[in-house]
Amino acid sequence: MFKGNPMKILSSRLGLAALAGLGALAMLAEPALAQATAPTAKAPELTVDKADNTWMLISTIIVLLMTIPGLALFYGGMVRTKNMLSTITQVLAIFCIVCVIYFLWGYTLSFTAGSGFLAPFVGGFDKLFLSGVAVDSKAETFSLGVAINEMIFVCFQMTFAAITTALAIGAFAERIKFSAIVLFAILWSTLVYFPIAHMVWFWPGPSGIAADPNSASTAGLIWGFGAIDFAGGTVVHINAGIAGLVGALLIGRRIGYGKEAMPPHSLTLTLVGTGLLWVGWFGFNGGSNLEANGYAGLVMVNTFIATAGAALSWMFTEWLIKGKPSLLGLASGVIAGLVAITPACGFAGPMGALCLGIVAGVICFFFCTSVKSALGYDDSLDVFGVHAVGGITGAIGTGIVANPVYGGAGIVDYTKCEVVNGVFTSTCATADYDMVTQVINQAKAVLFTFAWSGIGTLVVFLIIGVLVGLRVSQETEREGLDIVEHGERAYNM
């Protein structure tokens, strides 16, 4: 199927390309792509399959479901009653804002070739306002000659941008101004998310690589590292988790944090949100395959087994240490497993996915309890502890579980695609798998994402702080954001 990079290993999905820069971290990039001699051949004509289109339409819709109402209810149930309405309002507003700006400039910044020294970091303006994206335009998948309609691909990627931005706000819930949320949705998605998406997922496609291996030099920076990220371990989860931590540190702790109890007001709603997130994640992970084939089935198996493994490992660890297994812990373990398997879901075998989920559940539990308590930061809904830590575990673990020795799917090298009668076939040789090198490549991607998101988010919050301020007044925080910020209550008794 898709997976292999002529520099080392291909990024999954529409991977992001190579650019050099950003100080010392950019020095982590691989040396310039070795000159490869490719046969002169005609790339196959792109063909759209209705089954693939249908699968992507369904996947896009259920990723919307995992955000509205899934994430909204998951987050809303965990805050206090006085902030329930404000939390779900923030999630809905962010989704709508990012939806609009993605169509205006987000897609072109994420999935077109950039120019000049910024090319490895961000796309250009060729498709600004969706210019050139018509009902008959096509987006290539990971199989030579196979495509889906580009408008469907745009919508699918839009849902990723929206949910990532919404995920971050859980870390500083119950104390941020709504005006700051609106600016955050615009600035953070533009300055942080779209460039990261470009760096990880933009590449010339299988036909481009097969026809000219040197075309990989137009790809995104992290793609050029040889890192692989099937559905967003770096782009979505590490990115959002780091942004959440930066916001929580800058805005400060909630009034009374560590001194008074702040239990979730409705674990019932949190469980409903958890279920909707898990359902939607099949569109999130499975849709990232872009095709309705056997690899989508592999993704489904891994999204089941890794998630269940993480939930159980969190539950039993909590049971052992605290004496009781909690519903909140079990639900958190579900999300930790979903996060960890995201970058590996199309590369791992089922047993590798199970092991990755079990490890992630334990690690995330300790970060959300012991580490958080020791450091004293107020990550309201454990965005850093679950998404950043789970994403890091999954991103680095992908380099291990993708190994065919451990049942992984391995990597496809498009530079070795065969030419038959002057046309590239869809059968490409599987590259030799170097696990140590791949783990190093994954670590590079994690470090660069950590730096880009951290620095970019800091800049975004400094701008917002100057323009409208970040935190509500003490009186507003004590009374609750629902009635003061929105003039409504979640519950009218």
212-225 per-position pLDDT tens digit: 777 888 999 999 99
Gyration radius of the chain over CA positions: 22
Long-range contacts of 475-484 (CB under 8 A, 24+ apart): 477/174, 477/175, 477/254, 477/255, 478/255, 479/82, 480/80, 480/81, 480/82, 480/83, 480/86, 481/82, 481/83, 481/85, 481/86, 481/174, 481/175, 481/178, 482/82, 482/83, 482/84, 482/85, 482/86, 483/82
pLDDT at 271: 98
**Is the Cβ–Cβ distance between 213 and 474 less than 8 Å?**
no
Whether 332 has a pLDDT exceeding 50, the answer reads yes
Mean pLDDT of 92-100: 98
pLDDT at 289: 96
The helix/strand/coil state of 485 is helix
Mean pLDDT of 101-109: 98
Task: Please give the full DSSP string across 74-112, using - where no structure is assigned.
Answer: HHHHHS-GGGHHHHHHHHHHHHHHHHHHIIIIIHHHHHS
pLDDT at 27: 38
Mean pLDDT of 78-102: 98
**Is the Cβ–Cβ distance between 75 and 273 less than 8 Å?**
yes
Whether 47 has a pLDDT exceeding 90, the answer reads yes
Please give the distance of CA 234 from its chain centroid, rounded to a whole number: 6
The pairing of strands 419-420 and 423-424 is: antiparallel
For residue 211, which of 293, 158, 144 has the smallest C-alpha distance?
144
Whether 127 has a pLDDT exceeding 90, the answer reads yes
Residue 466, Cβ neighbours under 10 Å: how many?
A: 8
pLDDT at 429: 60
Q: Write the CB contacts of 373 (distance below 8 Å, at least 6 apart in sequence).
A: none
Whether 25 has a pLDDT exceeding 50, the answer reads no
Task: With residue 424 as reference, give the H or E element that holds it.
Answer: strand 423-424
Lowest mean pLDDT among 5-9, 117-121, 314-318, 426-430: 5-9
pLDDT at 229: 97
Residue 419: pLDDT band (50, 70, 90) is low
pLDDT at 426: 59
**One-letter identity of residue 418:** E
Mean pLDDT of 350-363: 98
Question: What are residue 367's phi and psi, to 5 degrees?
Answer: -70, -35
Tokens matching residue 321: 């240490």
pLDDT at 15: 34
pLDDT at 213: 75
Domain boundaries defined on the chain: 23-27+48-486
CATH topology of domain 23-27+48-486: Ammonium transporter fold (1.10.3430)
Where do we find the tokens 């989860």?
A: 237
Whether 147 has a pLDDT exceeding 60, the answer reads yes
Whether 437 has a pLDDT exceeding 50, the answer reads yes
pLDDT at 469: 98
Residue 19: pLDDT band (50, 70, 90) is very low
149-189 per-position pLDDT tens digit: 999 999 999 999 999 999 999 999 999 999 999 999 999 99
Whether 37 has a pLDDT exceeding 50, the answer reads no
193 or 430, which is more confident?
A: 193
For the chain, percent of residues with pLDDT exceeding 90: 82
pLDDT at 2: 35
The helix/strand/coil state of 140 is strand
pLDDT at 412: 74
Separation CA 347–CA 160 (nearest Å):
20
Q: How distant, in Å, are the alpha carbons of 77, 303, 306, 307, 341 from that of 271?
A: 8, 18, 18, 15, 20
Whether 421 has a pLDDT exceeding 90, the answer reads no
479-488 per-position pLDDT tens digit: 999 999 999 9
